[in-house]
Amino acid sequence: MFDWTQGTQFRAWLYRSAEELAALRAKAHHLAKQAIHEGKAVPMPHSYASRLSPDVGKGSSSTTTDGNPSRSPSGHPSMDPTKPKLVSGVKRPRSDGEEETQDGLFLASAKNGQMKELDALAPEDEVALLQYFAYMIQDACGHRSESIKRGLHVQATALTFFKRFFLSNSMLDFDPKIVLMACMFLAGKVEYEYIRLSELKDVFGEKYGRKIIEFEGCLLQGLGFCLKAYHPYNPFFGLINGLEKVNHVKKLGLTPDSLSRLCTAGQETIDLILPTDLPLLHAPARIALAVLVTCAAECDLMEPVAEYLSYCFEEEDEYDTIMKEVALIRPAVEAAQKEVPKSLTERKESRIEDWRAAMTRLKKAARWGGKGEGKKRKKSKGGAAGENNRSATDLGKYGDGDKT
């Protein structure tokens, strides 16, 4: 039998607590701030948040007293975040006074007002924007999208890539919108539902076509070239199929209509869970089981579902252990059901003022690689863009201001 704890997703991308995720994001944020203060070049993307050690065979995980693997971020020197690998290339002067490498990324030293803008930007701002852009991915390429409609797994994989990338990297260094588009583009390839570049340009703007292609290699490096992503959908549908078969044999009293309601409710709940951090904290099968139990309680189907699960886990100890794990996950599932709006439009508008304020602070402090951004920051004494200079990441729009 396959031991799921030896799989790449468990060993590399599952974490012990929300506090650990917050610490990783804060670390990436502060390292980016420090590099900007010191005038260092934009580093190549890190993947140090991945728990999978590059030293294959040396054992990157051990087991703690509570039975959970104790996996620390990679200690490989090339992934040491305190020694960032700078973008290679010969420096050349730019017309706006910055220095640019042959790779197109520029040296941005924090001067005058940008120091204040950096200090005003907090790690919590990046976390808030992560949520907004996660909703944008679902809106742009989800199975209910009106823009680039794809299957369940494309949006899920794009979301996974996006969240993994920004565990080790900061939005101060990398434009989240370009990262978002590259994640969608790559997810389409990984899930064999290819998203054409022309589709992305139609939605986000013509100027992004080349940037997506150029950034794909950086995205791969930021993911540690770990592209396999598992999601709760398949385990959940497997549980539903098993429930249907056991219902025929043991006469649990479930009707086709009740099974359909349970399946629909579960899929919608997983849609709500994906933008949260829950997939980074628990295995997909455990999340699927928690979703099944939660939705069964809502649909008044708890009795037949409990009988089905006791049939699946015949040994009493195994059943009790599984249900204890489910009980730990259920509050987060129920919170997502209550707090995340089901409508994609409502999701994007739910905290729009907070997101807009966070984006304003980010745009003033960030050092994204496009030449236009550097010029915009220099137009005011504080280094901030003028009100008439619309950024590629203006909230409420996908494109460049003239596109909706």
Shared-domain flag, residues 208 and 70 = yes
Shared-domain flag, residues 140 and 59 = yes
Shared-domain flag, residues 60 and 151 = yes
Cα(208)–Cα(333) distance, rounded to whole angstroms? 36
Shared-domain flag, residues 46 and 96 = yes
**Tokens standing for residue 122:** 């907090």
Cα(18)–Cα(281) distance, rounded to whole angstroms? 7
- pLDDT value at residue 114: 57
Residue ending a domain, choose from 339, 356, 386: 339
Shared-domain flag, residues 116 and 206 = yes
Shared-domain flag, residues 216 and 294 = no
- pLDDT value at residue 45: 83
User: Per residue of the chain (404 residues), what is the pLDDT tens digit?
Assistant: 456 666 677 777 888 889 999 999 998 888 888 888 887 777 788 777 765 534 333 333 333 333 344 333 333 333 333 333 333 333 333 444 444 433 334 344 445 555 666 777 788 888 889 988 998 898 888 887 778 888 889 999 999 999 999 998 999 889 999 999 999 999 999 999 999 888 888 888 878 888 888 899 999 999 888 888 899 999 999 999 999 888 877 777 888 899 999 999 999 999 999 999 999 999 898 999 999 999 999 889 888 888 888 888 877 778 888 888 888 898 989 888 887 777 767 766 767 888 888 888 888 888 774 343 444 444 433 333 333 333 333 444 444 433 33
What are the beta bridge partners of residue 290?
Answer: none
Model-level pTM greater than 0.85?
A: no
The count of other CB atoms within 10 Å of the CB of residue 173 is 24
Residue ending a domain, choose from 307, 324, 339: 339
CATH number of the domain that residue 269 is part of: 1.10.472
Q: What is the 3-state secondary structure (H, E, C) of the chain?
A: CCCHHHCHHHHHHCCCCHHHHHHHHHHHHHHHHHHHHCCCCCECCCCCCCCCCCCCCCCCCEECCCCCEECCCCCCHHHCCCCCCECCCCCEECCCCCEECCCCCEECCCCCHHHHHHHHCCHHHHHHHHHHHHHHHHHHHCCCCCCCCCCHHHHHHHHHHHHHHHHHCCCCCCCHHHHHHHHHHHHHHHCCCCCCHHHHHHHHCCCHHHHHHHHHHHHHHHCCCCCCCCCCHHHHHHHHHHHHHHHHHHCCCCCHHHHHHHHHHHHHHHHHHCCCCHHHCCCHHHHHHHHHHHHHHHCCCHHHHHHHHHHHCCCHHHHHHHHHHHHHHHHHHHHHHHHCCCCHHHHHHCCHHHHHHHHHHHHHHCCCCCHHHHHHHHCCCCCCCCCCCCCCCCCCCCCCCCCC
CA distances 389 to 251, 291, 378, Å, are 65, 45, 12
Cα(376)–Cα(380) distance, rounded to whole angstroms? 8
- pLDDT value at residue 290: 93
| Residue whose entry in the numeric block shows the structure tokens 């009293």 | 253
Q: Domain span at residue 332?
A: 233-339
What is the domain count for the chain? 2
Shared-domain flag, residues 222 and 147 = yes
Rg (CA), the chain: 23
Shared-domain flag, residues 249 and 302 = yes
Residue ending a domain, choose from 318, 339, 360: 339
Q: How many residues does the chain have?
A: 404
Shared-domain flag, residues 188 and 149 = yes
Shared-domain flag, residues 238 and 222 = no
CA torsion sign for 183, 186, 192, 193 is positive
CATH number of the domain that residue 58 is part of: 1.10.472.10
| Residue whose entry in the numeric block shows the structure tokens 């910055």 | 98
Shared-domain flag, residues 377 and 241 = no
- pLDDT value at residue 314: 76
- pLDDT value at residue 394: 45
Shared-domain flag, residues 72 and 130 = yes
